[in-house]
Amino acid sequence: MADDQDDIILADLDDEELVQQMFDDLYDGLREEIEESVNILLERGWQPYEILTKALVAGMTIVGQDFRDGILFVPEVLLAANAMKGGMAILKPLLVETGAPKQGKMVIGTVKGDIHDIGKNLVAMMMEGAGFEVIDLGINNAVDSYLDALESEKPDILGMSALLTTTMPYMKVVIDTLIEKGVRDDYIVLVGGAPLNEEFGRAIGADAYCRDAAVAVETAKSYVARKHNQAAMRA
C-alpha cells in the first residue's frame, strides 16, 4: 500500500479510484494526502456531506474494524484519526454552510481520574462524521462538569468514557446524580471504554454500552430516532 504512494498523482484518479485511494491513505495515516483528496473532490463538485460519509467515515470504519480484529493497533488508529481530522477541518465550515443533515447533539467526556482519551476522541470524531454536533469536555470530568454542560448545551446524548477499573464506577455517580436531580430521562446516556461491558452499562443505569465508535454511532441514531418518535406520540 505505502510503497507505490510516490507514483500516484491524486488528481489523475477518477472519483471511484480516488475514494479507494483515500481509504488506503486513511489506513496509512497520511494526513496531507487526505487533505489534498478532499480538496480535489470539492473542486469536482462533490457535496461536503458526501465526501465526509462516502470517503472519510467509510474509510475510518475500515480502520475501526481492523482495530477491533487485532490487525491494526493503537498508533495506527491514532494516525488514521489524525488524517481524518485534517479532512474534517476542511469540511466542517462547509457542512454548516450547506446545511448538512443534523442528527442531534452529544456531550462527551472522560470521567474523573482518567486521562485516557484516544477512544473518546475517536467516538467524538465519528459522531461528528455521522452528523451529530459534539461538545467534547475532554478528560477528568467530575459530576459538576457534566451537569454544567448538560444544562448549558441541552444535548440529546451524554457520553462517558473510562479505561480504568478504578474510574469506571464514577459513571454511576454521574448517573445517580442525574436521577437525584430528576433529569436522568432527559438524556440518552451512552458509556464506553475497553474494560466496560453490557452488563456493567445496565448495572449503572446507562441506556447503552457501546463496544466501539461504529456501534456508538448506530446506537445513538436509533435512540435519537426513538426519542423523537416518543416526543411525537406525546404531542
Which residues of the shown chain bind other proteins in the complex (CB under 8 A)? 73-76, 78-79, 82, 113-115, 117-118, 139-140, 163-166, 168, 194-197, 200
Residue type, 169: P
Closest C-alpha to 111, from 52, 25, 174: 174
Beta-carbon contacts of 126 under 8 Å, excluding residues fewer than 6 positions away, are: 57, 60, 64, 213, 214, 216, 217
CA 88 to chain CA centroid, nearest Å: 12
User: Which of residues 31 and 227 has its CB atom nearest to other proteins in the complex?
Assistant: 31
- Choose the contact partner of 190 out of other proteins, ligand B12, none; CB within 5 to 8 A by kind: ligand B12
Whether the Cβ atoms of residue 204 and residue 197 lie closer than 8 Å to each other: no
| 217 strand-pairing partners | none
- Binding to ligand B12 by residue 116, rule CB under 6 A? yes
Give min distance, CB of 10 to ligand B12, in A.
Answer: 28
Of 5-13, 28-36, 158-166, 179-187: span binding ligand B12 (CB under 6 A): 158-166
Does 119 sit near ligand B12 (CB under 6 A)? yes
State the virtual CA torsion across 96, 42, 134, 190 in degrees, nearest 10.
130
Tell me which residues in 70-89 interact with ligand B12 (CB under 6 A).
74, 77
How many C-beta neighbours within 10 Å does residue 98 have? 11
Residue whose grid cell is 465550515: 93
Q: Which one of ligand B12, other proteins, none interacts with residue 156, CB within 5 to 8 A by kind?
A: none
Q: Which stretch binds ligand B12 (CB under 6 A): 55-63, 148-156, 160-168, 179-187?
A: 160-168
Q: Least distance in Å: CB of 201 to ligand B12? A: 9
Would you give the end-to-end CA distance of the chain in angstroms?
A: 54
Q: Which residues bind ligand B12 (CB under 6 A)?
A: 64, 74, 77, 108, 114-120, 122-123, 159-161, 163-166, 190-195, 210, 212-213, 216
